[in-house]
Chain A
Amino acid sequence: MTKEILKYLLLFIVLVVAQVVVFNHLCLFNVAVPLVFIYFIIKLPVTLSVNWAMTFSFILGLMVDIFSNTQGMNALACTVLAVMRLPLLRLYFPREEDMTNPEPSLHTLGPAAYTKYLLTMVAFYCAIFFLIESFTFYNWGLMVLRIVSSTLLTFIIILSFDSLTAKSR
């Protein structure tokens, strides 16, 4: 149990630092920003209560906000994402009891379900985040472009990271 907590704490710190130091400065074609820190929310165990998931996600978002000067945007989007996590997961994987390990991964969910879950989560997050960021639809074409490209970029990065870690097991 302690090992799990430590693992998540480490993941939290590594993701925040990586997002703030590296990924925030990656802006592909001036539209696509990888928002990889939500990997933490995606990886939270399904047995964790919604309250805790929300709290952790809120803190995660707040941390990224503080470091990247986006007041409350990521905190709000992360909270919403944490609430939507289990409903989205049940969409593709209705039998939570079948999971050997409560942590969603390529292994526990199977590649198809996990990929769909991941893509939906990332797309959902990017949509909320860029909606909050732009707020007015003065240039909604650009906003859609940003959502789609950022979703793809984040999805690819997280999936490749997952494949790498899955192979090493």
Chain B
Amino acid sequence: MRNLLNFLLRYSSWFLFAFYVVVSCGLLFNRNPYQHHVYMTSAGAIAGGLHDISSNITGYFSLRDINDDLQRQTAELQAEVLTLREQVRRYREDELQDSLRQVDSIGRFDFIIATVINNSISRPYNYVTINKGRLDGIRPEMGVMDQNGVVGVVNVVSDHYARIISLLNPNFRLSCKLRGSDTFGSLVWDGNDPTSAILEELPKHTIFHEGDTIVTSGFSAVFPEGLPVGIISGTARGADDNFFTLKIKLLTDLTALSTVKIISNTDLDEIRSVENDATSKSDN
């Protein structure tokens, strides 16, 4: 026994070496990747965590470029969708009115891409500041959206900057409707949670379900019809009013805005002047 122990001790290095070699070869020749234990791969919690941290850091290096690309792409697609939607609507109108032809331009909406340089979400009246202004073609009362949905409406414009009334501002009421129906209500922020808002004045006969999407109604000429705004997450008030009041989960993450698109409606001035004419005439 003593001899055996001595033997083991004297050659312990060899045994240890053999042991380590066997273990590492066992790992090495385990050719089936599905049998690899999760802790032995970079998918494990610690290894994955480290890679997550490193990609969290390195991911920012090219983020700006990627983001710009994506925004440009989305802007193009969005413009295309809106153009197509306009086209469809035009064909519908043609179909209805048979002989009447519209000669105005199809693409009424244009996009200007801007970067958010200041954003508040915690105050009762919140505003967003962007790095584009009058010289870039931005005018007050233009709609602003990001890749997910509506952000707000331009309200103050300087030469190079513009301030936007954020959705998280009780001064901003957005005319919205249920996707797939034409009943509309008015979206307003209730001042509590930056991820949700209230849809008021929805007619009582409306049929809706939780999870239905709320889109812009297109009545205001600021936003084109059908931009996603939020998802119904519940009713907010008792059912004894004449209107429904719904809680809406906003699709836009206003807490993390980076790049936004300003919607410039090329017919806005015309629509405005028509409306103003009408009101001044009715005043007289």
The answer to whether A binds B is yes
Complex contact A72–B42 (CB within 8 A):
no
Taking the complex as formed, is B30 at the interface, i.e. its CB lies under 8 A from any CB of chain A?
yes
- B4-31 CB mask vs A (1 if < 8 Å, else 0) is 0000000011001100110111111010
Report A25-71 residues with CB < 8 Å from chain B CB: 50-51, 54-55, 58, 61-62, 65-69, 71
CB of B156, distance to nearest CB on chain A (Å): 45
Task: List residues 139-159 of chain B with CB under 8 A from any CB of chain A.
Answer: none
A-B CB pair tally, cutoff 8 Å: 67
Q: Is A17 interfacial (CB 8 A cutoff)? A: yes
CA distance A73 to B50 in the complex (A): 21
Q: Cα distance A65–B30 when bound, in Å?
A: 14
Does chain B have a CB within 8 A of A131? no
Any B CB within 8 A of the CB of A9: no
Taking A20-B51, A68-B42, A75-B24 as given, write out 14 further A-B residue pairs in contact, using a Cβ cutoff of 8 Å, ordered by the A residue number. A17-B50, A20-B47, A21-B50, A21-B54, A51-B13, A54-B13, A54-B17, A54-B20, A65-B40, A67-B47, A67-B50, A72-B23, A73-B24, A76-B21
Q: A21-B54, A61-B24, A65-B27 are in contact. Are A71 and B16 (CB under 8 A)?
A: no
What are the 5 tightest A-B residue pairs by CB atom distance, in nearest-first order? Answer: A72-B27, A72-B28, A76-B24, A75-B24, A72-B24
Chain A residues with a Cβ closer than 8 Å to the other chain, count: 24
Asked whether B160 is an interface residue with its Cβ less than 8 Å from the other chain, the reply is no
Q: Are A72 and B26 in contact (CB under 8 A)?
A: yes
Closest to A133 in B: B28
**Which single member of A20, A21, A54, A69 contacts B41 (CB below 8 Å)?**
A69
Shortest Cβ gap from A9 to chain B (Å)? 16
Q: Assess the A75–B23 pair: CB atoms within 8 A.
A: yes
Interface residues, chain B, with chain A CB atoms under 8 Å away: 12-13, 16-17, 20-21, 23-28, 30, 36, 39-42, 44, 47, 50-51, 54
Closest CB in chain B relative to A135 CB, distance in Å: 9
Complex partner residue of B28 from A17, A66, A132, CB under 8 angstroms: A132
How long is the Cα–Cα vector from A17 to B44 in the complex, in angstroms?
A: 15
Chain B: minimal CB distance from A92 (Å): 22
Contact of B23 with A66 in the complex, beta carbons under 8 Å: no
Cβ contacts under 8 Å, A154 to chain B: none
